[in-house]
Structure 1
Amino acid sequence: MAVTTKLTWNEEACLINQLGNVSLSLLYKSSVHGYSMSDMLQRYTCEGPTITIYFSNSIVGFLMLERNHKQTIWFTLRKKKDIIEMPTLLLNTVLKTTTEELSFLSYCGETIFSVNLKAQLIFLNHMLNAKIRLPVNSCSRANISECEVFRVEGIKDNRGYLKRITEVTQYRNKLLSDLRAYKPYADLVSEIRILLLGPTGSGKSSFFNSVKSVFRGRPTQQAIVGSDSTTSITEQYRIYSIKDGVHRQYLPFMLCDTMGLHDSEGGGLCVDDIPHILKGCVPDRYQFDPCKPITSKHPTYIKSPSLKDRVHCVAYVLDINSIDNLSSTMVAKLKQIHKEVITCGIAHVVLLTKVNNYDEVLQVNFLNVNKSTTSQKQVMNVSKILGIPIFNILIIGNHTSKWESDPEEDILVLSALRQMLRVTDDFLEDLPKEETSNLTPLRSAHQ
């Protein structure tokens, strides 16, 4: 009979995702193989990178690249609302084993963690308890119901990788926290409206799905995504709210999805629809007609839009792999649209999608996207075409066709969203006083 893990599917998926989409093989399970320290050690002494997990009132574990490696990643898996969270901590430790006990010591000899399998008891010192954010009622000593050891396959065998995993997780969580706390400038509007514009198949709907997936804590596909780069799947104007999976409240920004731009005349989004969209005259779920733009006579046309109805930021979405192949017709359309955006004084950025080399794109400190990469040529080309500063050209990937997200990919998506909100705040701050003097500060209508 096959031995299976006590981890739930979601817990195992979270663990695999945080470690860079590795694969796990169960080597030891105490309830099956016995509560003997020698039995456990024999099963993973020569197995290379391993993860050991203890099940008590919480799930606690550690990752070692090899048995005598001095760096270990400590973590806990916990469910918060519908999301599995995995706080992590990188520690330099000394491993000590006896016939009955396994311990990790600090360099000054203080016990950080210990386990006695025969007694089915673990000890965590207060520092480790706090750092991996165990529940406040967790004791330093706890009984365990199970211990499991996994071989980790596909993990990068380099000493800096453990530190990188921890830093990626911490920075991703910081971005999430900052965006959850965001409020539009001076509360002039309750939600920021970000319009996604770009050629068919460039990744507009996928970007919305990516943003929603990060905040929900699991992959979602609310916006339908197609595989055909010549036919637009999106035929309606959609205004999507984003709901936070942790606090279960709507966030103060919305993503507006449009029909894709097409090379041919009479195909894709009609450029003459753009001014009406920017001014907030087009309602949610308006059905686009490539050959006939909306007019003020349309029954759902918003004739007197307020500031909250307007588009506050435009994001041009372009496939990074197709920049060099943009047709002259597409370039002309983009320039025409951008001229209208400039005339309206609306904030704007570029999203270059479908990048694969996250390690190359992200700088070590995550503070900026590294432009001295293979993407530099595409970035410069886009800057030249649209006249947009390089610092507002953002590189991302999308969660298309993935069961689980990638923490580094999440950082790119969240960093791009943060920059959009920053340029939008600049736009709101720069509005003429006559447009804002009569406004009463607003709060989100969803709250």
Structure 2
Amino acid sequence: MASVVAALSLEQETHLLKLLPEPAQLHLLYKGSHHGFYMHTLRSKIDKEGRFVVIVYFKSGDVKGGYLSKSSDESKDQDAFAFEINHQEVTHFPVLDDSKATHFSTAMSNGCLKFGDCLKLYTENRSICVESWDIMYHQGIWLEPEYLDVELYRVGSARRELPWTEEGRGSLRKNLVSFKPACRSLNRVRVLLMGPAGSGKSSFINSVRSVMFGRVLLLPFIGTATKGFIKKLKSYDIRSERGGKPTALTLCDVLALGDGERTGLTLTDALAVIKGYAPEGHDFQGEAPIKAETPGYRPVPSINDQIHCAVFVLNACQVMTTSDDLTETLRTIQAEIADLDIPQVVLLTHVDQVCHAVQEDVKFVYSSRILQEKMQKAAEVVGLPVSYVLPVKNYSSELSVSCNTDILLLSAIHHILQAVDDTYEENHPPTPADASAEPPSAEFHNKPSNLLIFD
């Protein structure tokens, strides 16, 4: 299936996703020009259970199709609908009589898939015919206008479900404010952000603080530069509010990674920071690596001086063209950190700049096909599973915070903190004094997901 390229454009996919009853992602199962224009072949791709979308592409540029919400063996489907996408216009044809909503003939000789009176695909002369809105098209026989292709997609749930509500944002924020490391030896969780120049490390810190303060803030050195702005090790305590009590989270920023050891943060310095040897405010200089003679060097760092989670930050706009040198740098650092039993994740930033649907609303982040490809690439570049990749949208040009952007940012923080707890609970078993410690808040896990329904 890797060689089969979907004809559905990102704009068309955005329109279609808005018609579906809940956030979802599409998985291509059948493409007529690849698998053959036979109804029995299309029919064989549809399971008895599941949700599916059939799409027909016409030479006119129109896209027409239908949605099945139930097993193909069930004729009554009140959630089924037909649709037409014509440039910027989208027409939705809901079910008027669910007993006549869909019909799928199982006969091999005259297989037929019908969406009411709107769209009908059937077999004639062993090929697929399409009858749509009283106009008939036939592949290879009829002249203009004729259809170009037929595709079948399985409709799957979004890979990760988030509570896209004000209540969900409040719950995630409360989780961060009340979070206490499961390992009592940890006073707080120190998270190191590493990435190339322009990846969005500093912007992520600024955005998390903006979420907590309820308004967009500006930190020093926020922006874009060829070699990055941050030159020193800088730690930021994340507070519950301006002037408020610090949470258990500290985000640490460092010199940007470069292409190889000669530019940017070196492996030696990265490991010195992670192991806790590097002093706060250390000025990174490639020709002067961190060592015992470095001013402020900690020869015997405590567990609270160390980094408890390493986060690789990558720009979704640039990830597909990551250089071989940078890829080697990232994988080398990742492999060294893995030997230290420290959790690692990947933040994929600028997700709104690579997908129209996400630009309109970040709740589509886990259902966007193009973002799935970017996440796969980010995982490949660093050498981690794709489940370790967390997409986020940083605040940049906005003047005020928004609920869904906050939720995506807070969700990333939630996963980071959970990774730390999972790792340190495994590698640092609690002492008898820890046994009475209250577990982290499970409110996030117990909250039901609120999925939007589109009219």
Output the TM-score relative to the length of structure 1: 0.57
Contact 1:281/1:301 (<8 A) preserved: yes
The residue aligned with 1:389 is: 385
> Residue 181 in 1 paired to residue 161 in 2?
no
Match of 1:257 among 235, 250, 253: 253
Change (3 A) 1:208 1:232: same
Deviation of the 1:408 alpha carbon: 1.3
Q: Is the 8 A contact 2:192 2:311 kept in 1?
A: yes
1:202 counterpart (188, 199, 202) = 199
1:356-367 to structure 2, matched below 5 A, reads: 356=352, 360=357
User: What is the alpha-carbon distance in structure 2 between the residues aligned to residue 439 and residue 299 of structure 1?
Assistant: 37
Q: Which residue among 190, 193, 203 is the counterpart of 2:190?
A: 193
Higher relative contact order structure (alpha carbons within 8 Å, sequence separation ≥ 6): 2
1:316 to partner: Cα distance: 0.3
- Check if 1:350 corresponds to 2:352: no
1:160-175 paired onto structure 2 within 5 Å: 168-175=165-172
1:266 corresponds to 2:234: no
**Cross-structure match for 1:302:** 298
Contact 1:202 1:318 (C-alpha < 8 Å) held by counterparts:
yes
**CA-to-partner distance for each residue in 1:17-66, whole Å, 9 max, x for gaps?**
xxxxxxxxxxxxxxxxxxxxxxxxxxxxxxxxxxxxxxxxxxxxxxxxxx
2:402 is aligned to 406
Contact 2:255 2:265 in 1 (8 A): yes
Letter matched to residue 320 of structure 1: A
For the residue of structure 2 that corresponds to 1:171, the secondary structure is helix
- For the 8 Å contact 2:197–2:224, the answer to whether it is kept is no
Q: CA RMSD in A?
A: 2.9
Structure 1 contact 188–428 (Cα < 8 Å) conserved: no
How far 1:285 sits from its partner (Å)?
0.6
Q: Is 1:339 the counterpart of 2:335 in the alignment?
A: yes
**What are structure 1's unaligned runs of at least 5 residues?**
1-165
In 2, distance between residues paired with 1:323 and 1:169?
Answer: 32
Matches of 1:167 and 1:383, distance apart in 2: 25
Aligned to 2:213: 216
Distance 2:244 2:309 in 1: 25
In structure 2, the partner of 1:233 is 229
SS in 1 for 2:366: coil
Q: Which residue of 2 aligns with 1:288?
A: 284
Asked if the contact 2:194–2:310 (Cα under 8 Å) also holds between the matched residues in 1, the reply is yes
Give the whole-Å Cα distance in 2 for the aligned partners of 1:188 and 1:439. 10
* The 10-residue stretch of structure 1 (338-347 or 213-222) with the greater mean CA deviation from structure 2: 213-222
Assess, with a 3 A threshold, how the Cα gap between structure 1 residues 280 and 215 changes in structure 2: closer, same or farther: same
1:172 maps to amino acid: R
Checking the alignment, whether the CA contact within 8 Å between 1:270 and 1:291 is kept in structure 2 is: no
In the alignment, the residues of structure 1 paired with residue 328 and residue 260 of structure 2 have an alpha-carbon distance, to the nearest angstrom, of 12
Q: 1:318 aligns with which of 314, 317, 338?
A: 314
Alpha-carbon distance between aligned partners in 1 of 2:400 and 2:197, rounded to the nearest angstrom: 25
1:420 counterpart = 2:449 = no
Structure 1 position 275, deviation (Å): 1.3
Q: Is the 8 A contact 2:362 2:405 kept in 1?
A: no
Amino acid in the other structure paired with 2:379: S
Structure 1 stretches of 4+ moved >6 Å: 438-441
Instruction: Spell out, residue by residue over 1:235-286, the C-alpha distance to the aligned partner (whole angstroms, 9 max, x if none).
Output: 0001111111179211001001011012265322122201111111111111
- After TM superposition, the score normalised by the length of structure 2 is 0.56
Contact residue 268 and residue 289 of structure 2 kept, 8 A: yes
For residue 438 of structure 1, report the CA deviation from its aligned partner: 10
SS at match of 1:176: helix
Whether the 8 Å CA contact 2:238–2:247 is kept in 1: the answer is yes
Are the equivalent residues in 2 in contact too, given 1:361–1:371 (CA < 8 A)? no
Compared CA separation, residues 232 and 253, structure 1 to 2 (3 A):
same
Please give the alpha-carbon distance, in whole angstroms, between the structure 1 residues aligned to 2:238 and 2:428: 29
Distance 1:429 1:440, change over 3 A: closer
2:325 maps to 1:329: yes
**Counterpart-to-counterpart distance in 2, 1:369 and 1:429:** 31
Aligned residue in 1 for 2:100: none
Counterparts of 2:184 and 2:282 in 1: how far apart (Å)? 28
Distance 1:388 1:199, change over 3 A: same
SS in 2 for 1:236: coil
- After superposition, the Cα gap between the structure-2 partners of 1:359 and 1:172, relative to the gap in structure 1 and judged at 3 Å, is farther
CA distance in 1, matches of 2:272, 2:308: 13
Give the equivalent residue in structure 2 for 1:276.
272
Q: How many equivalent residue pairs?
A: 274
* CA deviations over 1:413-438 (Å, ceiling 9, x no partner): 100000000001011102245xx759
Return the letter of the residue paired with 1:384: E
Instruction: Calculate percent identity across the aligned residue pairs.
Output: 30
Cα separation, 1, equivalents of 2:391 and 2:331: 20
Question: In structure 2, how many angstroms separate the alpha carbons of the residues matched to 1:359 and 1:173?
Answer: 27
272 and 411 in structure 1: CA distance in 2 versus 1, 3 angstrom threshold: same
Q: 1:379 Cα deviation (Å)?
A: 1.0
Distance 1:359 1:170, change over 3 A: farther
One-letter amino acid of the counterpart of residue 311, structure 1 = I
Secondary structure at 2:298 match in 1: coil
SS of corresponding position for 1:308: coil
* Alpha-carbon distance change, 365 to 371 in structure 1, aligned in 2, over 3 angstroms: closer
